[in-house]
């Protein structure tokens, strides 16, 4: 009986270890070797255990992108953003060619984006899904795009994103925000990079910052 109990315990321990190993930290805490900046001239730096992006006046949207591409996955991260700055995390994203005179590095980043935005006094659209440079605007439907206050201004907020087939689900601080099923965007963006966005700002404003930490991903089969 004791031997059986020990065998069960060891089996459980191995199973738990394997499950935990499925998660991969996208930021190693030391450098940005696994990332590449595309578009824009915002700056990204390591600040403690976080990646911090800082706006640069006159710059278009900037993106710090994973070199690896991901299809179906579960993504978690924590983020803190200046109340004045709109931001987001690109998922399954790609780049497209642009005119040479545009001076956009690596082509225009496009694809689904999980919105990051302070709630303010009236609530906002954090956690909903936008179609960055897709020509479609919000992928979240108009009837679901309701402002809310689940994002805590000036604090670290925990995001969870599951992308499985044409379905994208999001949570903020444990609160379910969106379930998007979009066959059209899945046809063009079934796989791509993860990108940390620093949004462009109006002239004469800023600088503003946004920080991400505990960025981890688990690929789904």
* pLDDT tens-place values along the chain, 221 residues long: 544 444 444 444 444 433 446 999 999 999 999 999 999 999 999 999 999 999 999 999 999 999 999 999 999 999 999 999 999 999 999 999 877 656 677 889 999 999 999 999 999 999 999 999 999 999 999 999 999 999 999 999 999 999 999 999 999 999 999 999 999 999 999 999 999 999 999 999 999 999 999 999 999 98
pLDDT (0 to 100) of residue 102: 62
Q: Cβ atoms within 10 A of the Cβ of 169, count?
A: 18
DSSP-derived letter for residue 189 is -
Is the model's pTM score more than 0.85? yes
pLDDT (0 to 100) of residue 98: 77
Q: Is 16 helix (H, G, I), strand (E, B) or coil?
A: helix
Which string of b and e fits 123-152 if b means at least 16 CB within 10 Å? Answer: ebbbbbbbbbbbeeebbbeeeeeeeeebbe
């Amino acid at each position: 009986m004791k031997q059986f109990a020990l065998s069960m315990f060891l089996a459980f321990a191995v199973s738990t270890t394997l499950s935990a190993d499925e998660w991969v930290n996208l930021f190693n805490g030391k450098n940005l070797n696994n990332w590449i900046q595309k578009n824009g001239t915002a700056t990204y730096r390591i600040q403690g255990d976080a990646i911090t992006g800082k706006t640069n006046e006159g710059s278009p949207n900037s993106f710090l992108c994973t070199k690896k591409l991901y299809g179906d996955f579960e993504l978690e991260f924590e983020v803190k953003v200046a109340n004045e700055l709109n931001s987001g995390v690109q998922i399954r994203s790609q780049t497209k060619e642009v005119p040479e005179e545009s001076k956009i590095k690596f082509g225009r980043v496009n694809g689904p984006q999980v919105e990051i935005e302070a709630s303010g006094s009236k609530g906002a659209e954090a956690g909903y899904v936008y179609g960055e440079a897709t020509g479609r605007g919000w992928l979240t439907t108009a009837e679901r795009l309701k402002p809310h206050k689940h994002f805590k201004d000036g604090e670290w907020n925990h995001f969870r994103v599951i992308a499985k087939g044409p379905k994208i689900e999001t949570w903020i601080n444990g609160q379910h925000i969106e379930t998007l099923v979009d066959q059209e965007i899945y046809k063009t963006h079934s796989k791509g990079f993860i990108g940390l966005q620093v949004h462009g700002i109006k002239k004469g404003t800023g600088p503003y910052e946004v920080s991400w930490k505990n960025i981890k991903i688990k690929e789904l089969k």
